[in-house]
Structure 1
Amino acid sequence: MSAQDKLIKAQHLIDMNDIIREGNPTLRAVAKEVEFPLSDDDIILGEKMMQFLKHSQDPVMGEKLGLRAGVGLAAPQIDVSKRIIAVLVPNPEDSEGNPPKEAYSMEEVLYNPKIVSHSVQDAALADGEGCLSVDRVVEGYVVRHARVTVEY
């Protein structure tokens, strides 16, 4: 049974046991493009990846399932070498602690994403960032382009 076959079973919830760790060759391999029209299996996989991110950002579900919070998950991180990513960027509370009108600034599954342009300016998060596939603390900043345009 392939990793994808296991992950898309109706009763399966993606959890930290499904996340492969640094050193696994799938993380460094060039992922395959998905074919259009999308297969049911690829659609289900994208939905389950998004479900993982929502659970990981929910304090109750995250603790119950033992998840680390994430805003993005790529299929290779769950040992599926395909160009599929799920992105879930929450909106912050306002200065008075009130919840935002819209929960997320981005909630999308991207198939065959491709960066088509980027800013000259670079940026890094002040608090640093992590990776679900890296269990250790890595000091420093991750410098990226401040803006990118992605086709998918």
Structure 2
Amino acid sequence: MITMKDIVLEGHPVLREVAKEVILPASEEDVAIAKKMLEYLINSQDPEISAQYGLRPGIGLAAPQINVSKRIIAVHLTDDKGTLYSYGLFNPKIISHSVEKAYLSSGEGCLSVDRPVPGYVPRYSRITVTGTTIEGENIKLRLKGLPAICFQHEIDHINGIMFYDHINNEDPLAPIPGAIEITK
């Protein structure tokens, strides 16, 4: 089981690497990594389990965050309509995106960042993602709202990008022109 001690913090060099493609079909080891990452997210959202093991709640996790430089992400969240997005994905890619931007009104957080980072993170409001599931199925997901933001955050991780790289340093809370504000 992954716990907070397994999650590397900002400043660790793996978080700035472009992660390696996962050779498909995924090895048993890679499938186990993806399953453990997804399990962490599910456990972290359970108040009893997260309290027992001291887990910070999360909705997404990328393999570099557990010091594995591979293109693996896990997400576990529901959208504003109650649809559950629960995936471990190998080699996820954004294949298309909207021109329109969106941002979280509360800003973004990260399990690898142990401090508050105020500021709006501009993201695409709608994206289409492809990837291969833990079961080996190639999927295409059309996402908007919080799921779109979460997937962009995790795909950034496998490209060595941190969420705060997108924040306007001069004025972190400056309105993003024409962007949709998303509240969690």
Normalized against structure 1, the TM-score is what? 0.82
Aligned to 1:97: none
Aligned to 2:65: 77
Aligned to 1:57: 45
Matched, 1:115 2:103: no
Which structure exhibits the higher relative contact order, with contacts defined as CA atoms closer than 8 Å and separated by 6 or more residues?
2
Aligned to 2:18: 30
Task: Output aligned runs, 1:7-26, within 5 Å.
Answer: 13-26=1-14
Amino acid at match of 2:121: V
* Cα deviation, residue 90, structure 1: 2.9
Question: Which of the numbers 105, 117, 128 marks the counterpart of 1:138?
Answer: 117
Amino acid at match of 1:139: P
Q: Taking every aligned residue pair, what percent have the same amino acid on both sides? A: 54
Matched, 1:148 2:127: yes
In structure 2, how many angstroms separate the alpha carbons of the residues matched to 1:106 and 1:142?
21
Amino acid at match of 1:85: I
Amino acid at match of 1:25: P
SS in 1 for 2:77: strand
Q: Once the two structures are superposed, what CA deviation does each residue of 1:46-92 show, in whole Å capped at 9, x if it has no partner?
A: 11000000011111111111011111000000000000000101356
In structure 2, how many angstroms separate the alpha carbons of the residues matched to 1:129 and 1:68?
14
Aligned to 2:104: 125
Provide the alpha-carbon RMSD of the alignment. Answer: 1.4
Say how many residue pairs are matched: 131
Amino acid at match of 1:36: L
Aligned to 1:44: 32
* Cα deviation, residue 140, structure 1: 1.1
In structure 2, how many angstroms separate the alpha carbons of the residues matched to 1:52 and 1:31?
20
Structure 1 runs, 4 residues or longer, greater than 4 Å off: none
Which 5+ residue runs of structure 1 have no aligned equivalent? 1-12, 95-99
Which 5+ residue runs of structure 2 have no aligned equivalent? 132-184
In structure 1, how many angstroms separate the alpha carbons of the residues matched to 2:108 and 2:14?
22
Normalized against structure 2, the TM-score is what? 0.68
* Cα deviation, residue 151, structure 1: 1.0
Amino acid at match of 1:89: L
Amino acid at match of 2:94: I
